[in-house]
Amino acid sequence: MFGLIGHLTSLAHAQAVANELGYPEYADRGLDFWCSAPPQIVDTIKVTSLTGETIEGRYVESCFLPEMLANRRIKAATRKIVNAMAHAQKHGIDITALGGFSSIIFENFNLYQIQQVRNIKLEFERFTTGNTHTAYIICKQVEQASRQLGISLSNATVAICGATGDIGSGVCRWLNARTDVKEMLLIARDRARLSALQEELGRGQVIGLEEALPQADIIVWVASMPKGVEIDPNGLKHPCLIVDGGYPKNMATQIQHPDVYVLNGGIVEHSLDIDWRIMSIAKMEVPARQLFACFAESMILEFEKLYTNFSWGRNQIGVEKMEQIGQWSVKHGFKPLLVN
């Protein structure tokens, strides 16, 4: 059985959907309430591969909210993640993806140390961040959507916001090794990590966001921002392809400009309908078929009977592993979401 650990994007979002999902006691409650709420299994999922095999999974809501980080409720945030992992393990889930901020919190707050959660000893090999598949899908979106829009990578400047992160560094490695992209602009806050990445790649310009945006033909957003930033589409190149892989979204602006194309980044479309209700809450356009690539990674590992933490640790996503998960992704019927 596979599992998905996820969370909602804001307190307002959580309050709005709690009622709809049959948890009226969670609606209208403030951050304190969510800080003390236990994890819940809120969906049972069935997915069929293109090979014909059907697998079953569970969605575990951790009850983490990004406001917990913004309000320095760090202890609550870390408890949400380890409790959700213990809940998944207790329910016999063999391989679980740590969606959105779950893996970021796990890594940033070094939760390896908390292996014992009440009577459960966490078995970390039952969990995967899902980031190898996410990085692979974002790269395929860049390659295929740029072709759709007539942007040639060999003439293109690609800005990667969150370049030094787990997904961002994987994307940079792929663009460097597997494409002929002309220029890479590397954006993040920590200068030392940016220099280390630049040295590893042997290329790339370290630059601030404001300076990078007007120069980019393609912008990949993979920064771990609890809240999105506003940008002015008139200050971008035209055409410009934006692939926003953030959860919550890195861009707060709803862009409506004929020459700026915004793609929901790190999203796959499955070839067959999936029997679940969570993706309508996550506001997918086609909720029966579209899902987060990190979630798809745990399904792929279940289809392949690979009960191992395929994606683990930080900044270790290499192109060979991306290619490997990519082959399985295609085999089981997942495709990157492209421009309509």
Residue showing the smallest CB distance to ligand NDP in the complex: 165
Q: How far is the CB of 203 from ligand OCD (least distance, A)?
A: 28
Contact 4, 99 (CB under 8 A): yes
Please spell the DSSP secondary structure of 181-246, one letter per residue.
-SEEEEE-S-HHHHHHHHHHHT--EE--HHHHGGG-SEEEE----SS-B---GGGS-SSEEEEE--
Q: How far apart are CA 295 and CA 122, in angstroms?
A: 20
CB nearer to ligand NDP: pick between 239 and 287: 287
Task: Select the residue interacting with ligand OCD from 247, 261, 276, 303 (CB under 6 A).
Answer: 247
- Show the tokens assigned to 20: 């709809």
All residues at 6 or more sequence positions from 326 whose CB lies less than 8 Å from its CB, including other chains = 133, 136, 140
Q: Which residues between 235 and 264 bind ligand NDP (CB under 6 A)?
A: 245-247
Q: Taking contact as CB under 6 A, which single stretch among the options 52-60, 140-148, 216-224, 270-278 is the one that binds ligand NDP?
A: 216-224
**Which has the closest alpha carbon to 45: 267, 268, 270, 278?**
278
The partner residues of 144 in beta bridges, in order of sequence, read none
100 binds ligand NDP (CB under 6 A): yes
Contact 266, 244 (CB under 8 A): no
- Residue 94: contacted member of ligand OCD, ligand NDP, none (CB under 5 to 8 Å, by partner type): none
- Residue 185: contacted member of ligand OCD, ligand NDP, none (CB under 5 to 8 Å, by partner type): none
Task: Select the residue interacting with ligand OCD from 2, 292, 303, 328 (CB under 6 A).
Answer: 292
136 binds ligand OCD (CB under 6 A): no
Q: Taking contact as CB under 6 A, which single stretch among the options 28-36, 126-134, 305-313, 327-335 is the one that binds ligand NDP?
A: 126-134
User: What are the backbone angles phi and psi of residue 65, rounded to the nearest 5°?
Assistant: -130, 140
6 binds ligand NDP (CB under 6 A): no
Q: Any idea what the Cα angle at residue 50 is, between residues 277 and 282, rounded to 5°?
A: 20
- Residue 26: contacted member of ligand OCD, ligand NDP, none (CB under 5 to 8 Å, by partner type): ligand OCD
AA identity, residue 159: A
Contact 10, 103 (CB under 8 A): no
- Show the tokens assigned to 225: 């921002």
Residue showing the smallest CB distance to ligand OCD in the complex: 6
Q: Which residues between 210 and 239 bind ligand OCD (CB under 6 A)?
A: none
Q: Which residues in this chain contact ligand OCD in the complex, by CB under 6 A?
A: 6-8, 17-18, 21, 23, 26, 40, 42, 61, 99-100, 247, 278, 281-282, 292, 294
Q: Which residues in this chain contact ligand NDP in the complex, by CB under 6 A?
A: 100-101, 103-104, 130-131, 134, 161-168, 187-190, 193, 222-225, 245-247, 266, 292-294
